[in-house]
Every structure is written in C-alpha cells, then in structure tokens.
Amino acid sequence: MKNIRETEPFAYGFLHCKSKSVEKRMACSILNYAQVVPVTVRAEDWFAGNTCNAENYDIRFRSNGAMDYRMELFAKSIRKNPLALVYQVRMFPHIGENYVFWTRNHKEHALAVHKNLWGTGLGHGNPDYKMLLDVGTKGIREKIAKYRTVHSDKGEFYDSLECTLDAFELLAKRYRDEAKKQMQTASEEEKIALRRMADALENVPRNKPRNFFEAVQFFWLAFSFLEIDSPGLFDYALGKYYDEDDSGIRYACLQKLWELFYKTRSWNLCIGGSDEKGNDLCCDLTYDILKVAREYRYNTPNITMRFHKNSPERAWKEAAATLATGIGMPAVYNDECVCTALENLGIPPQDSHLYCMNGCNQIDIFGKSHMGLEDGEFCVAKALEYLLFRGRCQHSHQKLGLDLGNPEKFTTFDEFLQAFFRETDYMADTVTRLSNEAQAWHARFSPNPWRSNLIEGCIEKGVDYKCGGPLYGHGQILTEGLTDTADSLTAIKHFVFDTRKYTLKTLVTALKKNFVGYSELYRDFSTYHKFGNDLEDADEMYATIYHHIYRYFLKIDTFRGGKFGVGCSTFERAANYGRHLGALPNGKRKEDSLLADSIGAVPGCDTFGPTALLNSVLKVDQTLATSGNVMQMKFPKAPFQTPVGQEAFIALAKTYFRQGGQTLQINVVSKEELLDAKIHPERHQNLIVRVGGFSQYFVRLEEGLQDNIIQRTENEL
C-alpha cells in the first residue's frame, strides 16, 4: 500500500496544515499534491504538464469540492486505500451531509423528472491566461503584496494564493528536472525536444515567455494544473507571441498542443471577435487554429468563433471551410448581440468584448467572472404538464409542481396562459434557490485559491473566486423544451379556446391515454401550426413565453453577486428530457425522446426552408439571452463543400446576425450517412456531429440523440 501522503495528497496536505482557514488549508493540500504527484515527461508531447490521467483527474475534482456529489469517486478511492476513508472524511466532514442535502432536494424537485430542476453545478471557468503569461507568477506575487497592505485583515487569504503559486512553480521545477534527467539517455531527436522544454522551464512560469514555444509551455502548464477546462480567448492570450515568433516551429507547436487538447478532452476555445471600438481581433493564430482543426478533424476542443459587423471576409471563408469538414465547428457567435446582452447586465463594453465560452456554449468574461456552468436547467414543457395534471409529473407520478386546480375552470386562454406562467415562475424560483444554496456550499467548503490568482477582482477584494471575488458573478440557467411548449400552447389556444372543437377535459384524457383512441384529436394537434415556419400565431406564442421566462430570471439575484441569465443548450440531455415527459399537446407521445434541441423548431417540424426558420427565431429579443442561445441548423454535405454552398451559408449567417441572431451551430452531414451509421457503426467510427453545444462521434451517442440529429431538417443552400 502506498504512503497515505501520496495516495491522498490533498487530504494529507489539508489535515497537516496548522491554519484554521479553509482557504489556507486548501492551498496546503495543493502544495502537497505538487510535491508528491508523479511527474511524467514525454519528449514526443513537446510540452510538460499533467496529461490528466483518470487517477489525477479524480484527485483534481476532489480538490475543487466536486466530491460533494461525486460519491462514486469517493468509494473508488476508499477501495484503493481504506485509510483514505479516514483522511477524506476528516478533510471533508461535509461530504455525507452534503450528499444528503443534494439527495433530499433532488428527490423532491428533480430526479424524478431527470434533473429538470438542477442547480448544483460547480461551474467551468475562464482564468486570465493572457495576464498570467504577460506578467508571470512574479507579477502576480507583486500584485498580492500590493493588496496585502490594502486588506491587512486578509493575511491568510493572501497566504493561500502565494502557497498555490509555490505549488505551481515547484511543479514546473520538477518537470524541468525530469526533462534534464531524461536527456541523459534520450535519442538525439528526443534531446532536442527535452532541451527546449527544460530551457523554457528555466524562464517560465516566473517570467514572461520569450517566444511562442515558451508561451505554449507556460499556458499548458497552467491550463493542466489541477484541472482541464476551457482555454478561453486563446488567440487573444497567445496571438502576439505567435505573430512575433520567427523560430520556424510555431505551427508545429500549435499542432502538438492540438493533440494534447484532444487527449484531455479540453472544453471551449474561443477565437476572433472585436474590441469595444469595433476593431477586428483576428490574427495569424486565429486562422492557423482553423487550419489545424481542418487538418486533424477532431471533435475537441470545442471551437467558438466570434463575428461582428466588421469581420473580414477571410474570417467568414475560413470558418465556412472548417465547417465543411463536418466537425460541427466553429460555432459562430454575434458580438453585436452578445455584447449588448452583457452590457444590459451592467458589464462595460471593454469587458463585454472579452466574452468567451465556458464549457459548451455558456458565456463568461475572460479572466473577470464566475458566471456558472451551469447553475441550473429546467424543462419548460414540464410546466405545461404540471398545469394540465395539477402538479403531477406524468413520468414519476409524483406531485412536483403547483396544483392550480382543475384546468377545466379556465374559460379564456389568457387565464390559462397566466396559470402556465405561475408554474414556470415556481420552477424558476426553485431552481435558482437550489443553485444559490449550492453556490453557498461550494463557497464555504471548497475555495479555489488557484483561480483566485487568475480572475480579476479576487486579489483586489481579498475574496475567493467562489465567494464573490470576481468582478462579475452572474448566473446561467438553461431552458429545455421551449419550442415543444410553444407548439403545444398554440394548438391549445386554437382548438380549445378559439374554435372550441375540444375541451381541456378531453385533451387531458387523451394525453393520459397517450392519444390511444383519440386519432382525430392527435391528427389535429400534431399537424397544427408549428414554430419555425414563419407562421404568425406559432411565432407569437413562442415569443410570449420566451420573453416572460427570460425576463423573469433576470430579476433573481445569484449568491455570487449578479443576476440569473438564461440561454438554451441541451448539451446531451434532450432525449432524456423527452423520455421523462408524458404526452404533450404538440403530438409528442409519452416517453418519446424527440424534443427541441435548441431555440429552433422541434426537429423535422420546420418545413418551409431556412429563411422561414430564421424569421421565426428572429421574432424574439435575443439580447435577453445572457447564456448561449443555441440555434442548430443542418445542411447536406455535398453542396456545403462547394464554394457556392459556402458563400450561400455565409450570406445566410450574416443576415441572421445583422437582424439580431446570437449564434449558429451547424451540422454538415449526409442523412444517408447518418442512417447507415446507425445500422453499421463500424463503418463510421470517425463521423462527427454537432449535438447540443458540442461535437461528438455519432456512433458514441445514445440512440435518442442519434434520432434527434437524424430528424433535424436538412436545409438546402
């Protein structure tokens, strides 16, 4: 059995720290980790850093407090070393209590309906790698020293920050020493790589990089220290080092880094965009990132590219050419929409133009915020189900929503709609309450001194990253099933309240029986006007519920000191949400997995072409969305891979953005290929599709998600 200091490095460092400050003890746990974690250097990787093997990933998660609800990792660790039980329970006495807390609340509000009220996410983040590279750890230490004098009562907080920097520098030294050691027996080719690595680590991380290789080595060391997350505004952070490099190996460095990103399933890398004056920020690195993405055709990292009214044609053409490969990237975002949304939250233009994505497509401010990922989700269609069935979930048969009485009592559609909003408001209040309780738990028990060093506001205030230290602490809730609900309400208004062909009693009975014996009603409701076809009644209904829900959340405060914003991204859960719903008035049958996967139409229901689809979506104010408001579209591969097809897409995207659209996420794939991949997965191991804010190999998706992607309308260019 290994020494407990090595098998439980975080717990050992935490428990042997003499301080009573949780922040200082957490920093000591990180320092002990840096002292004992096995250090591996591989010449073929070019860059030293933690390549995130499963065991170390387990440890890193524990250090950030995610053990609060990752009990399976807890059990796994105990099986490896029984003494770990003693150390972990002593380090995290709140583990059991927290587990009970989450289980109780989720059982009551969430688990029975597949997390439709979530609110427990730890959150991704976007540390300021540009600042770190530009000043080195030496510059951060100088900043800490400055603010120690301002907040003389925060000594242990600043001690924790310096202790974490000690750990980071120590790990760099250990990598340097290991590289030098390996040079003694390495081949001549390996010696070149190892010597370059060791020389770089003589300079960084204390000092600013001298070339692009050192910049990447510094970045990778920091990026892989304790966690693998989102690179953020990558070309903004490293672009000047790339532009100024004349070593002749800068593109090779980018290729090696790309392989490391893929091996570690790195999250969102953001490129392009504008500054607050409207100047374009694309550089050589921007375009070479798109080039390397086309070359490798990996499904990760998840690339986001920002556009604006002054974006050069080259940027659009390079993005379209990359999308034509079928990797589903880059996702394209509109600065005019996103920056306006952020500025409406009170974020000034110079910071709003530093937005990037954390995770799949949730919006963050690079190096200045902790804005969640995500703070919660809720399925809007559940609110309608609760209203029709007096608060009872039709999947679990538990009472989870408000009982607003017999739905037959509503004599006008307006009364019915206002009751529906009472249900959505209740769900919003519940998910944000759970989220704020979760945020408070994480702030109390799992401070993050490493991120506190790299996010503006923390050092200046003397406050931890999770306790409200960053400049911006807004939240993000993701909606699901918005379009399914709009289609359902449109049909209810028409058939129940306008034409009175059916009563609510008849509709509820038909839904209970999953439409069995109600073929005419099913035909009427399932074929009536659908959102996404530029039809006035369906679009107006969609806009009404969209605006109510998005505005309601913006009234609610986060624990971190901001407001809750809303977006729409199903990640990979759309099919599961569908299965955990009963039958819906839009024609969805009970436990059918098909559910709208974005702010667009229910897959297959937009039949009037891409212009009609976008016209429908543009009838809502997308500046209300302060999280990613995903709009999925699918195009056939053959025409998209031609210059004419790509020009047609660019024209469509520019028009959408000019009229207020926030983002487009694109699948370029053949329907025939998708169908064959379901039958013969062995033939299509490298087929990539865009899912719900990320790209994945099609054959690795569960069947419900595969069907969702197949059924999305294939738009002609």
- 448-485 tens-digit pLDDT: 999 999 999 999 999 999 999 999 999 999 898 999 99
Please state, in angstroms and rounded to a whole number, the distance separating the CA atoms of residues 78 and 166.
29
At 631, is the secondary structure helix, strand, or coil?
A: coil
Give the lowest-confidence range in 332-341, 398-407, 504-513.
398-407
What domain range includes position 274?
129-364
Q: What is the 3-state secondary structure (H, E, C) of 520-548?
A: HHHHHHHHCCCCCCCCHHHHHHHHHHHHH
Quick: pLDDT tens for 168-210. 999 999 999 999 999 999 999 999 999 999 999 999 999 999 9
Yes or no: say if 567 and 629 are a contact pair by the CB < 8 Å rule: yes
Of 81, 111, 141, which residue constitutes the final position of a domain?
111
Q: Is residue 647 part of a domain?
A: no
Instruction: Evaluate the CA torsion angle 636, 642, 645, 647 in order and state its sign.
Output: positive
Judge if 615 and 542 occupy the same domain: yes
Yes or no: say if 319 and 332 are a contact pair by the CB < 8 Å rule: yes
The alpha-helical segments, DSSP class H, found in 279-400 are 284-296, 313-323, 335-343, 349-352, 380-388
Judge if 476 and 555 occupy the same domain: yes
Q: Is residue 699 part of a domain?
A: no
Answer yes or no: is pLDDT of 396 > 90.
no
Of 585, 601, 630, which residue constitutes the final position of a domain?
630
The end-to-end CA distance of the chain, in Å, is 63
Quick: pLDDT tens for 601-641. 999 999 999 999 999 999 999 999 999 899 999 999 999 99
Average pLDDT of the residues in 583-589? 97
Q: Is residue 663 part of a domain?
A: no
Bond from prior residue into 205 cis (ω within 30 degrees of 0): yes
Judge if 242 and 265 occupy the same domain: yes
Of 111, 143, 161, which residue constitutes the final position of a domain?
111
Report which of 121, 166, 236 is spatially closest to residue 24, judged by C-alpha positions: 166
Please state, in angstroms and rounded to a whole number, the distance separating the CA atoms of residues 581 and 423.
16
Judge if 54 and 29 occupy the same domain: yes
At 267, is the secondary structure helix, strand, or coil?
A: coil
Q: Name the band, by pLDDT with cuts 50, 70 and 90, for residue 574.
A: confident
Q: What is the pLDDT of residue 374?
A: 66
Q: Is residue 702 part of a domain?
A: no
Yes or no: say if 629 and 554 are a contact pair by the CB < 8 Å rule: no
CA 645 to chain centre: 30
Q: What is the pLDDT of residue 83?
A: 56
Please state, in angstroms and rounded to a whole number, the distance separating the CA atoms of residues 366 and 353.
9
Single-letter code of the amino acid located at 174: R
Judge if 342 and 476 occupy the same domain: no
Average pLDDT of the residues in 576-588? 92
At 68, is the secondary structure helix, strand, or coil?
A: helix
Answer yes or no: is pLDDT of 164 > 70.
yes
Number of Cβ within a 10 Å radius of residue 246: 7
Please state, in angstroms and rounded to a whole number, the distance separating the CA atoms of residues 325 and 307.
20
Please state, in angstroms and rounded to a whole number, the distance separating the CA atoms of residues 401 and 399.
6
Place of tokens 């309601």: 552
Please state, in angstroms and rounded to a whole number, the distance separating the CA atoms of residues 635 and 354.
31
Which DSSP symbol is given to 170?
Answer: H
Classify residue 180 as exposed, middle or buried by CB count within 10 Å of its CB (0-12, 13-18, 19+): middle
Judge if 262 and 290 occupy the same domain: yes
pLDDT top residue among 597 and 549: 549
Judge if 349 and 393 occupy the same domain: no
Yes or no: say if 709 and 689 are a contact pair by the CB < 8 Å rule: yes
Yes or no: say if 101 and 417 are a contact pair by the CB < 8 Å rule: no
Please state, in angstroms and rounded to a whole number, the distance separating the CA atoms of residues 565 and 680.
42
For 333, list phi and psi in degrees, rounded to 5. Answer: -120, 155
Answer yes or no: is pLDDT of 127 > 80.
yes
Distances from the Cα of 231 to the Cαs of 254, 356, 433, in angstroms? 13, 9, 30
Gyration radius of the chain's alpha carbons: 26
Q: Name the band, by pLDDT with cuts 50, 70 and 90, for residue 143.
A: very high
Answer yes or no: is pLDDT of 251 > 50.
yes
Q: Is residue 31 part of a domain?
A: yes
Judge if 161 and 68 occupy the same domain: no
**What's the chain's length in residues?**
717
Place of tokens 């013969």: 680
Judge if 399 and 454 occupy the same domain: yes
Q: Is residue 9 part of a domain?
A: yes
Judge if 416 and 318 occupy the same domain: no
Q: What is the pLDDT of residue 53?
A: 42
Quick: pLDDT tens for 60-88. 333 333 333 333 444 455 455 555 555 55
Which DSSP symbol is given to 601?
Answer: P
How many domains does the chain divide into? 3
Judge if 406 and 354 occupy the same domain: no
Instruction: Look up the pTM and report it.
Output: 0.93
Place of tokens 């016209």: 615
Q: Is residue 221 part of a domain?
A: yes
Judge if 80 and 163 occupy the same domain: no
For 227, list phi and psi in degrees, rounded to 5. Answer: -165, 160
CA 510 to chain centre: 38
Quick: pLDDT tens for 98-122. 443 444 444 444 443 334 444 445 5
Which DSSP symbol is given to 370?
Answer: -
Distances from the Cα of 37 to the Cαs of 6, 40, 206, 560, in angstroms? 7, 10, 21, 33
Please state, in angstroms and rounded to a whole number, the distance separating the CA atoms of residues 654 and 661.
9
Q: What count of Cα atoms within 13 Å lies in the side-chain half-sphere of residue 243?
A: 12
Single-letter code of the amino acid located at 329: M
Q: Which helix (DSSP H) or strand (DSSP E) does residue 61 occupy? A: helix 54-63
Give the residues across from 557 on adjacent strands: 563
Please state, in angstroms and rounded to a whole number, the distance separating the CA atoms of residues 126 and 637.
34
Q: Please report, rounded to a whole number, the percentage of residues in the chain having pLDDT higher than 70.
A: 89
Number of Cβ within a 10 Å radius of residue 473: 23
Give the residues across from 688 on adjacent strands: 697
For 563, list phi and psi in degrees, rounded to 5. Answer: -120, 155
Q: Is residue 706 part of a domain?
A: no
Q: Name the band, by pLDDT with cuts 50, 70 and 90, for residue 55.
A: very low
